[in-house]
Amino acid sequence: MTALDGAWTRRWFEGVAAEVSRRKGELTALDRAIGDGDHGENLDRGFQAVLGKLDALDDAPTPGAVLKLVATTLISTVGGAAGPLYGTAFLKGAMAAGDRAELDAAALVEVLTAARDGIVARGKAEPNDKTMVDAWTPAVEAARSAGGDVRAALSAAAEAAAAGAVATEPLVAHKGRASYLGERAVGHRDPGAESTALLLRVAAETA
Amino acid sequence: MKKLINDPAKTVDEGIAGFALAHPDLVRVVVDPPFVIVRADAPVAGKVGIVSGGGSGHEPLHGGFVGYGMLDAAVPGAMFTSPTPDPILEATKQVDAGAGVLHLVKNYTGDVLNFETAAELALAEGIEVQSVIVDDDVAVKDSLYTAGRRGVAGTMLVEKIAGAAAERGDNLDKVAEIARTVNSRVRSMGMALAPCTVPHAGEPSFVLADDEIEIGIGIHGEPGRERIALEPADRIVDRLMEPILEDLPFERGDRVVLLVNGMGGTPQSELYIVFRRAAEVLAERGIELARSLVGSYVTSLEMQGVSITLLQVDDELLGLYDAPVHTAALRWGR
């Protein structure tokens, strides 16, 4: 079993940067349908900046140190709602990780829970509001009930986030820009939930 | 996509660089952190600083309104994307003269979150900050189940009047109170004949058939609440005026400022056609047209369309509206 250490955290975000770059057009198209069509571009700007910062890290950072670096970089480069939301998520995750050198399954669940709670506190959205909370909440629950293995917990979180993203399609949006569309948002997947699914999928794949 | 640009990724930077070169008497541009537009003589001793900002693509909002009698700084984000907290914090520091700083924020989730974070950081540095959220768009139902109404063209009237209050020396509490009062008395509604294209996205923000229009659009190219068949201008104006007038409500004997705002791709002549009918509707209702403003002030790139804004005024607000202003996009009395 791969340890969820600082090297993994770094691999995770390098993978996310590559995947966001590859899928930014798709994320932007989802956002164009119900928002203002910039989600992919904004995340790509943020994670490309993260890549540059990761290169400057010392040899053996803790997971918490990597998460904090990602958080501050996203807050200062992404803008929109996604910047503060993902920034807060990873900042709270970093605080939960503390100075542990490795995350075991219990610590991973703490990190994911703190991240989700941070998003809820910042964005004031609840489940079924058609936001990234609809991917984060089932992901946290799945990780928690996956048992003692961190890879199993990450895989379960990734699968639950992906299903949560798909499940936003029939919802009416209550938060964010899509809420201005009323019923017209129905039938479209929430771009924030989809990017959350992407993040957690890469987390599982790099573990 | 056919646009007068060099590189889609550089449209905001290059536009701001040009703005700085064109108006060195009014503004200076801070490039680190990027894209803060500050009044040339800031900070003005003893004066409350006023900072606004948001995604680019709505020019002349907000940079065009930086100068005497209006904003002390504007913070443009990426195209249609709110700025991040660092440049908002930098703008706040640049305009603070010890009297505190007012943030004027359009009610979009990203703008609210980033300004909120910047205000917390400014407070941590000992700068007194108050925030007023502008939410004048009647197209959005104001309920617990949405993020609330959007801030649209009424924002410039909040900026003008709060700016005049700050310029005459009102303290932070008073300037913030006036901004809230203006926000509580201003209502807007917009429509689009054709969408816009964000340069880095390369595709139109929504698709309309030749004979379709969107009613109730926001200013980011986001679709509206209703799509209908094209109608004559007067009928469209009636559709926009009705919900505005009913919302406040505006009543017989009220005095109003009427702003007819182009979305970027609409000729001035068509804006006057809209104004003509809007003024007629006011007359029919016994509402007095106190002041008129017609032009493209809060735009959505090259979107074709218009928004109508009504502000209910009393002597004090009208006096502040009339007070001298000298900015790149709005100038009178000085």
DSSP notation for B273-290: HHHHHHHHHHHHHT-EEE
Tell me whether residues A181 and B225 touch, CB distance under 8 A: yes
Percent of chain A with pLDDT over 90: 86
DSSP code per residue over A112-144: HHHHHHHHHHHH---TTSSSTHHHHHHHHHHHH
**Is it the case that residue A107 has pLDDT exceeding 90?**
yes
A127 Cβ under 8 Å from any chain B Cβ: no
- Residue B229, judged by CB atoms within 10 A of its CB (0-12, 13-18, 19+), counts as exposed
A191 Cβ under 8 Å from any chain B Cβ: no
Contact criterion met (CB below 8 Å) for B240 and A69: no
Q: Give pairs for A153-159: CB < 8 Å, separation 24+.
A: A153/A105, A153/A108, A153/A109, A154/A108, A154/A200, A154/A203, A154/A204, A154/A207, A155/A204, A157/A112, A157/A200, A157/A203, A157/A204, A158/A197, A158/A200, A158/A201, A158/A203, A158/A204
At position A128, the amino acid (one-letter code) is N
B77 Cβ under 8 Å from any chain A Cβ: yes
pLDDT band at A57 (very low <50, low <70, confident <90, very high): confident
Contact criterion met (CB below 8 Å) for B137 and B111: no
Query: What are the structure tokens assigned to B333, written together?
Result: 């009395």
Q: Give the pLDDT score at A180.
A: 81
A145 Cβ under 8 Å from any chain B Cβ: no
Tell me whether residues B84 and A175 touch, CB distance under 8 A: no
For A180, which of B80, B206, B218 is closest by C-beta distance? B218
What is the C-alpha to C-alpha distance for residues A60 and A52, in angstroms, rounded to an integer?
17
**Is it the case that residue B222 has pLDDT exceeding 70?**
no
DSSP code per residue over B230-242: ---HHHHHHHHHH
Tell me whether residues B221 and A36 touch, CB distance under 8 A: yes
What is the C-alpha to C-alpha distance for residues B200 and B235, in angstroms, rounded to an integer?
35
Tell me whether residues B84 and A79 touch, CB distance under 8 A: yes
Tell me whether residues A180 and B146 touch, CB distance under 8 A: yes
What is the C-alpha to C-alpha distance for residues B95 and B92, in angstroms, rounded to an integer?
6
User: What positions of B carry a catalytic annotation?
Assistant: 58, 220
A91 Cβ under 8 Å from any chain B Cβ: no
pLDDT band at A182 (very low <50, low <70, confident <90, very high): confident
- Chain B partners within 8 Å of A28 (Cβ): 201
Size of interface A-B (CB pairs under 8 A): 109
For A37, which of B83, B109, B221 is closest by C-beta distance? B221
DSSP letter (8 states) at residue B197: B
B58 Cβ under 8 Å from any chain A Cβ: no
Tell me whether residues B218 and A177 touch, CB distance under 8 A: yes
Contact criterion met (CB below 8 Å) for A35 and A62: no
**Is it the case that residue A176 has pLDDT exceeding 90?**
no
CA-based nearest distance B219→chain A, Å = 9
CA angle, residues B61, B156, A84, in degrees to nearest 5: 60
CA-based nearest distance B245→chain A, Å = 20
- pLDDT tens profile B140-190: 765 555 678 899 999 999 999 999 999 999 999 999 999 999 999 999 999
Query: What are the structure tokens assigned to A180, written together?
Result: 């201005």
DSSP letter (8 states) at residue A57: S
B10 Cβ under 8 Å from any chain A Cβ: no
What is the C-alpha to C-alpha distance for residues A187 and B184, in angstroms, rounded to an integer?
35
Among B75, B81, B301, the strongest candidate for a mutation testing the A interface, having the largest count of A CBs within 10 A, is B81
Query: CA-CA distances (angstroms) from residue B101 to B85, B89, B121, B291?
Result: 15, 11, 13, 29
pTM of the prediction? 0.92
Q: Give the pLDDT score at A80.
A: 92
Tell me whether residues A184 and B108 touch, CB distance under 8 A: no
Q: Give the pLDDT score at B31.
A: 87
Give me the mean pLDDT over the B304-308 stretch.
97
- CA-nearest of B242, B226, B246 to B234 is B242
What is the C-alpha to C-alpha distance for residues B95 and B98, in angstroms, rounded to an integer?
9
Percent of chain B with pLDDT over 90: 86
What is the C-alpha to C-alpha distance for residues B53 and B36, in angstroms, rounded to an integer?
9
Quote the strand ranges of chain B, DSSP E.
Answer: 27-30, 36-39, 49-56, 67-68, 73-79, 101-106, 129-134, 186-194, 212-215, 226-229, 255-262, 288-295, 304-312, 325-327, 331-332
- CA-nearest of B305, B297, B322 to B63 is B297
What is the C-alpha to C-alpha distance for residues B116 and B130, in angstroms, rounded to an integer?
10
Give B 195-224 residues with CB within 8 A of chain A: 198, 200-201, 203, 205-206, 218, 220-223
CA dihedral A84, A85, A90, A91 (to 10 degrees): 50
Tell me whether residues B145 and A179 touch, CB distance under 8 A: yes
Q: Give the pLDDT score at A139.
A: 98
- CA-nearest of A38, A25, A33 to A130 is A33
Q: Give the pLDDT score at B144.
A: 54
B184 Cβ under 8 Å from any chain A Cβ: no
Q: Give the pLDDT score at B35.
A: 75
B225 Cβ under 8 Å from any chain A Cβ: yes
In what side-by-side order are the strands of the sheet with B325-327? B67-68, B325-327, B331-332
ipTM of the complex: 0.86
Identify the bridge partners of residue B28 per DSSP, sorted by sequence position. B38
CA-based nearest distance B323→chain A, Å = 34
- pLDDT tens profile B231-280: 999 999 999 999 999 999 999 999 999 999 999 999 999 999 999 999 99
Give me the mean pLDDT over the B218-228 stretch.
77
Cα atoms in the 13 Å half-sphere on the side-chain side of B270 = 17
- pLDDT tens profile A69-100: 999 999 999 999 999 999 999 999 999 999 99
Strand pairing of B101-106 and B129-134? parallel
A38 Cβ under 8 Å from any chain B Cβ: yes
Tell me whether residues A32 and B110 touch, CB distance under 8 A: no
Query: What are the structure tokens assigned to B177, written together?
Result: 């109170």
